[in-house]
């Protein structure tokens, strides 16, 4: 599966949410939460929807494969420096997790003027430890991690705890067990774990982290709202968005965009949910998709997707967005460099993003 391939390519034991999340077999299932029951799932979104912005000013950047230099090079390529970036904390072991050395190595003395959004697993290693996380059993590890990030000058980062929890590809996922009778309980445990971790990190001296509750875009998944920890523990409400076709269907660009907006936890859901909770929106991962093995699953050089994403960003209360600019050889999301697969969409991106500002809104 694409998730597994991307994970192996990135060499992270638990893998990155972005990476695992974008499986062609789950193209559309890669991301899945619950639309509030009182709101129709097909409600359109647009310039008159929630918290419209008057001008295209938001934090903007990329993920470029665990390298601050590569991330900044993306800004040079597009003609405007990055003001945000996505990175991923390891779960290889508790020792590696506590030290946060992989993230620190990437960004120490490199984050001036850049807000780094760090995807953080709910525990290190393998196994299903959601109940333990919900009890606060791992809180001391998060305190140690936070102290090390603060000491490295990364105490103002965004922490994206347990990202893409609405799916089944991460062990903390609501549906990870494949047993529907457990989903509501797991959602509540996720929310409790989140509250424990945020409370612990906020007590670390010098910590000024913000917290991003981030789902994966996709069709309806149960009990997502039960996983929300409460407004006091969340700064951003986010969503990862990729230009996949629906499973088994080779959509047109128009049909693909309609699904991205109107599916269960599509962009319309994100706008409504964030507005209801009075939170800024984030899109920590978004990308075009080229899969040379299973091309029917990917949108390819889709200029319309880039144009739609820019328009959507400009008309919503967006805090930050980061393009997932990475390639593993046969599955690519990369716009620039020798691995770039999207000449037309990349050209449009450069034209549009050259005008995007870097004014950070309050959260």
Please state the separation of Cα 24 from the chain's center in Å.
Answer: 17
- Please give the angle made by the CA atoms of 132, 176 and 91, to the nearest 5 degrees: 55
Neighbours of 203 (CB within 10 A): 11
pLDDT given at position 219: 80
Q: What is the pLDDT of residue 99?
A: 98
**Rounded Cα distance, 87 and 78, in Å:** 20
- DSSP readout, 154-188? -TT-EEEETTTTTSSSSTT-TTTTS-GGGHHHHHH
Nearest-angstrom CA–CA distance, 15 and 120: 11
Q: What are the residues facing 212 on neighbouring strands?
A: 236
Query: pLDDT value at position 62?
Result: 98
Predicted pLDDT of residue 55: 42
Block mean pLDDT (10 aa), the chain, length 363: 40 41 34 25 31 62 96 96 97 97 95 96 96 98 98 98 94 93 96 98 98 92 92 98 79 90 94 98 96 79 97 97 89 84 95 74 45
**44 contact partners, CB below 8 Å, separation of at least 6:** 261, 262, 268
2-39+50-353: which CATH topology?
TIM Barrel (3.20.20)
Query: Among residues 322, 330, 348, which one has the least CA distance to residue 242?
Result: 322
- CA geometry: angle 15, 120, 261, nearest 5 deg: 75
Which pLDDT does position 144 carry in this prediction?
98
Instruction: Rounding to the nearest 10 degrees, give the CA dihedral for residues 161, 165, 168, 170.
Output: 0
């Amino acid at each position: 599966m694409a998730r597994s391939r991307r994970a192996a390519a990135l060499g992270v034991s638990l893998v990155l949410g972005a990476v695992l999340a974008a499986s062609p077999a789950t193209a559309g299932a890669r991301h899945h939460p619950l639309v509030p029951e009182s709101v129709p799932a097909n409600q359109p979104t647009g310039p008159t929807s929630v918290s419209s912005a008057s001008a295209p000013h938001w934090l903007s950047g990329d993920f470029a494969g665990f390298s601050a230099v590569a991330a900044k090079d993306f800004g040079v390529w597009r003609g405007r420096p990055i003001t945000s970036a996505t990175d991923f904390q390891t779960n290889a072991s508790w020792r590696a997790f506590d030290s946060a050395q992989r993230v620190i190595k990437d960004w120490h003395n490199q984050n001036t003027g850049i807000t780094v959004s760090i995807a953080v697993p709910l525990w290190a290693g393998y196994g299903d430890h959601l109940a333990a996380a919900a009890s606060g059993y791992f809180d001391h590890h998060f305190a140690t991690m936070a102290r090390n990030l603060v000491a490295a000058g990364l105490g103002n980062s965004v922490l994206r705890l347990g990202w893409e929890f609405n799916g089944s590809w991460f062990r903390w996922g609501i549906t990870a067990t494949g047993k529907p009778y457990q989903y509501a309980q797991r959602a509540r445990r996720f929310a409790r774990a989140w509250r424990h971790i945020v409370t612990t990190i906020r007590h670390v001296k010098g910590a000024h982290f913000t917290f991003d509750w981030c789902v994966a875009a996709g069709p309806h998944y149960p009990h997502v709202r039960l996983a929300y920890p409460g407004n006091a523990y969340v700064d951003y409400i986010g969503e990862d968005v990729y230009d996949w076709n629906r499973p088994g269907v080779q959509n047109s660009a128009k049909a693909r965009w309609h699904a991205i907006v109107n599916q269960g936890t599509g962009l319309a859901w994100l706008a409504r949910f964030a507005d209801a909770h009075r939170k800024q929106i984030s899109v920590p991962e978004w990308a075009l998709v080229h899969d040379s093995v299973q091309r029917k699953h990917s949108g390819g050089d889709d200029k319309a997707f880039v144009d739609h994403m820019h328009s959507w960003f400009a008309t919503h209360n967006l805090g930050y967005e980061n393009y997932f600019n990475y390639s593993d050889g046969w599955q690519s999301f990369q716009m620039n460099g020798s691995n770039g697969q999207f000449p037309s969409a990349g050209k449009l991106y450069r034209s549009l993003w050259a005008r995007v500002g870097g004014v950070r809104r309050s959260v």
